[in-house]
Amino acid sequence: MAERSFKAEVEHLRKGEGDTFTGEGILAITKALLENGVGYVGGYQGAPISHLMDVLADAEELMAELGVRFEANASEAAAAAMLAASVHYPIRGAVTFKGPVGVNVASDALANLSSSGVTGGALVIVGEDYGEGSSIMQERSHGFAMKSQFWMLDPRPNLPCITKAVKDGFELSEASNTPVMLIVRIRSCHVTGSFSTKDNVPPPLTVKQAAANPQSDPKRVVLPPMSFLHEQDKIEKRWPAAEKFIVDNQLNEFFGPDDGKIGIVVQGGMYNGLIRALQRLGLADVFGDTKVPIYVLNVTYPLIKDEFSAFCDGKDHVIIVEEGQPDYIEQQLGSYLYKAGRQLKLYGKDVLPMAGEYTGQVMLDGITKFLKAAAPDLLPGKVLAPNDEPQVLPDLSKTVPSRPPGFCTGCPERPIFAAMKLTEQELGKHQITGDIGCHLFATLPPFEIGGSTMGYGLGPASNAAFDGGGERRAISILGDGGFWHNGLSSSIGNMVFNKSDSVAIIVDNYYSAATGGQDVLSSRAHNDTKSTNNPISAALKGVGVKWIRQIDHTYDVGKVREVLKEALTTDFKGPKVIVASSECMLNKQRREKPIRNKAIKAGRRIDIPRFGVDSDICTGDHACIRLSGCPSLSLKHLDDPLRDDPVASIDQTCVGCGNCGEVADTAVLCPSFYRADVVHNPSNSESWRAGLHAKTIGWLQTRRDTKRLRLEGKIQ
């Protein structure tokens, strides 16, 4: 079950010649693939392109009609390896994944693909997850493109440009026999707009037809001596062919006046931010007409020397707008100017930040600084006013608390870490490593468990150095998504092979939950196109793990603590793996709420559990919050002059998982938690009893109030 269904939107992918498509960039990319005769598509989900994989999955029926093969790959490496179909056959193929972590995982396959070269167009759609909203380390995929000779497209973030880039990418790949990366930033993935559609085109050669007539060429295999010739082929044939195609088809764009003493060179993906900055300075309008010459790099690699040189003719000052670091583009263009002996002042990271996202304000400040130095006459007077002091933004970090990511309300992973905290109190602190996935939130308060992550599925492997190195066994965390992605071989297989004596906890929430709830091999749901219901425990046994414990209800905090304690104290020597399984609460709610609401509307009796805290019993020590951290568990002040400290309180967002009560019971805290069932469409007898109870309780409360001591008047 993915986070969102695109079944309705997929129907728009059937639009043909002369129609208008309106929607998100993600859907537009899918439509462009179908319009350009793609033969096969694969990928691995991850922000910001998770929805692209979801769209493709929902569009499988349409793609099958066209003869297009789709595969949700087991990892980015598997997706990149799929492009081998374009090496010998004139079939267009596209794969997609999150970058640069996806590029890192796929690097072996991508490097070999780039070395051998391709016959059919090979397109790698990289969701460039960079900036303040990113969930990964701050890096760019540009360095890999340079290293392995991948041509890189970074189109302006609007639907006509994005869809054109898909077409250009395939054609550029075929013209130069080189795979192409298409960078789609977060802005591009979720931008909305319109473009004129064309008819979907079946691939001229399908993968089924190609398989019926196998082709091979030893010259394409990356082995010496051919691997040495591949490098020469890149420089002597592929690179010149790529440059010729880029120039002949005008993939890069020029805006603004033809003459001028200043100019701006910008990555295509940063164009909207640049135009907005110029607009705020009165140097561009809402349609993009600008008074400053702009050279837009829709192709950021390779850079076209002659094109850049022509743009610089007659100019004294040029700025390079390049988000992120290192400043690859600025260095390369600066080298061109130096070697040509051009007397031109080049700006870039001296007026724009070396690192960090180029937000609207950052872009405005940088362009303003450039114009003040290079062309102050273009700026409005108020910008140049000598008495103007720079706007000082208040430092809100001292007054506004930070809001780090955390587990959702009712998350089944939360009780696992509560049990680990309780075990730590008894056995002492252990060396713990985390992994990519929701469970990584446990490194943050209130749990503060683990302190490192090395990659998807590498939790146990990243603890290998500590195996047997101390009095207490090392513990590592691994999710079910990471387990099937890379963990089974690189982590669990590594533990078995090296006779590890450490403990691995596999958090099994039935889905690849952190990327949007896609199915994995061990998902419990039935999937018409994928194989599910393959137990993790069976895979563990298959690679030689002997000590396995399966927990099918992680909300039982006492049971989780008991099993964890057993794993840490047993005399058994060898890998110890705990599979802790409970369904992701978000996906569970997505599945059950519509069914429940429909039943309530139909008049069926439905009871929904809710939990609360008895404020008369709560001691106010807040230990339950420190061991749970549930967003629905907060504080409230009482109307009691004798109780100044706030007590625990459960708000209306509670989903009734029961974790708070389980934690309080296992940790032997105050028994203030209670469960109440909210009954919809009760029977007549239930309504009568509820009314009777309410009247009785009301009478008792009134009687108690009459006996309560009351203080009249004001205290002087």
Give the lowest-confidence range in 269-273, 383-387, 625-629, 677-681: 383-387
Question: Please, how many CA atoms are within 13 Å of residue 129, restricted to the half-sphere of its CB?
Answer: 19
Q: Could you say which of 248, 265, 284 is where a domain stops? A: 248
As a residue count, the chain comes to 716
Looking at the predicted structure, is the pLDDT value of residue 404 above 80? no
**Residue 32 domain flag:** yes
Residues 456, 558 share a domain? yes
How high does pLDDT run on average in the chain? 90
Cα 247 off chain centre by: 35
- Of residues 468 and 312, more confidently modeled: 312
CA angle, 359 then 362 then 368, to 5°: 135
Q: Tens of pLDDT along 86-125?
A: 999 999 999 999 888 999 999 999 999 999 999 999 999 9
Question: In this structure, what CATH number is given to the domain that contains residue 682?
Answer: 3.30.70
Residues 462, 609 share a domain? no
> If you average pLDDT over each of 456-460, 567-571, 698-702, which comes out highest?
567-571
Q: Could you say which of 248, 266, 287 is where a domain stops? A: 248
CB–CB of 75/105 below 8 Å? Answer: yes
Give pLDDT, residue 113: 95
Residues 261, 244 share a domain? no
Residues 221, 140 share a domain? yes
Residues 88, 203 share a domain? yes
Give pLDDT, residue 713: 59
Across residues 665-673, what is the average pLDDT?
87
Give pLDDT, residue 253: 97
Q: Where are the alpha helices (DSSP H) in 584-683?
A: 585-601, 623-628, 659-666
The dihedral formed by the CA atoms of 491, 496, 497 and 498, expressed in degrees to the nearest 10: 90
Domain that holds residue 666: 605-705
Give pLDDT, residue 280: 93
Report the number of distinct structural domains present in the chain: 4
* 678-705: burial string, b at 16+ Cβ within 10 Å, e else: eeeeeeeeeeeeeeeeeeeeeeeeeeee
Residues 204, 170 share a domain? yes
Across residues 618-639, what is the average pLDDT?
86
Residues 642, 694 share a domain? yes
Across residues 165-172, what is the average pLDDT?
98
Q: Tens of pLDDT along 583-627?
A: 999 889 988 899 999 999 999 999 988 889 998 888 888 888 888
CB–CB of 137/108 below 8 Å? Answer: no
Q: Which CA distances in Å does 211 have to 72, 85, 113, 324? A: 20, 10, 19, 43
Residues 555, 665 share a domain? no
Q: Tens of pLDDT along 222-247?
A: 888 888 899 999 999 999 999 999 99
How would residue 80 be classed by pLDDT, with cut points 50, 70 and 90? very high
Across residues 542-552, what is the average pLDDT?
96
Q: Tens of pLDDT along 568-580?
A: 999 999 999 999 9
Cross-strand pairs, 674: 612
Instruction: For strands 294-297 and 253-255, give the pairing.
Output: antiparallel
